[in-house]
Structure 1
Amino acid sequence: MEENKRITRKGSTPIKVYCLPEERELIEQNAAAAGLSLSAFLLAVGQGYEVKGITDYERVRELARINGDLGRLGGLLKLWLTDDERTARFGHATILALLGRIEATQDEMGRVMKAVVRPRAEP
């Protein structure tokens, strides 16, 4: 009879780490800040992964909200500029420069979001 058993972490030998209560408390706080269990945190750090805190994801959410606001602002600005006769005093260069600035800000925010949240390679 052939056994095809898959090796899992649960069936492997654990690594014991002795630490003082203060050290354990600090490790637990760091794991909680990263939104990970103590085991998942230590496994990730032990394999050399840079652990990102959940605050990074909160920042990305905020950046995404601002990015959406900028997009809506650009859309409203375009609408306002095409339908309002009072915009005749603004030159095309000024309008294009403003729209270009909004687009550049959106691109920069996208780069920041990608730098903050990078998918972790699976071990």
Structure 2
Amino acid sequence: MSQPEGRDTTSKVGTARGTRPRRVRIEVWLTPEERDEILKKAEKSGMKGSAFLRALGLNQPIRSVVDLKAVADLAKVNGDLGRVAGLLKLWLAERRGEGAHPMDVEEMMVRFRGLQHQVFEHMGKITRDS
């Protein structure tokens, strides 16, 4: 049976999501337990099963959603540390010597900046290692 003229008869598999066309499929025989384990690992990484297996097969990094969430949380803590250090600096500029010795406040400010640097280093390590 012939198709009407102008009608595209090629498969559109894999193009609905705006990705490159994927028309080839590989079947893998698994036990139900293996399938469940793969799907659990894919879910932990925030990926669909096929994307997870494709990334593994192409030796691409798999980032854990937990690790990326930890980096986001660390970024918030880092921002909070920066805000506190900024407030201490403002206090030193406007109310030097009121309520605390200026050297103590400056030392605390330096410690906060050091903590910020450590948090930033940990964030970088997590994103590089995951």
> TM-score category by the smaller chain?
0.7 to 0.9
Q: Which has the larger radius of gyration?
A: 2
Give the structure 2 partner of residue 104 of structure 1: 114
Unaligned runs of at least 5 residues, structure 1 = 1-7
Greater length-normalized contact order (CA 8 Å, ≥ 6 residues apart): 1
Give the structure 1 partner of residue 83 of structure 2: 72
**1:39-84 residue CA offsets vs partner (Å, 9 max, x unmatched):** 1111111222341211112111110110111011001111222222
Give the structure 2 partner of residue 23 of structure 1: 34
Identify, as 1 or 2, the structure richer in helix.
1
Change (3 A) 1:62 1:89: closer
Q: CA deviation at 1:91?
A: 4.7
Residues of 2 paired with 1:100 and 1:77: CA distance? 10
Name which of structure 1's ranges 15-24 and 44-53 shifts more when overlaid on structure 2.
Answer: 44-53
Kindly report which structure 2 residues correspond to 1:1-123, keeping only aligned pairs within 5 A, or say none: 10-11=22-23, 13-87=24-98, 90-92=101-103, 94-118=104-128
TM-score after normalising by structure 2: 0.71
Q: CA deviation at 1:85?
A: 5.0
Residues of 1 paired with 2:26 and 2:100: CA distance? 72
Unaligned runs of at least 5 residues, structure 2 = 1-19
CA RMSD of aligned residues (A): 2.3
TM-score after normalising by structure 1: 0.75
**% identity of equivalent residues:** 33
Name which of structure 1's ranges 32-41 and 50-59 shifts more when overlaid on structure 2.
Answer: 50-59
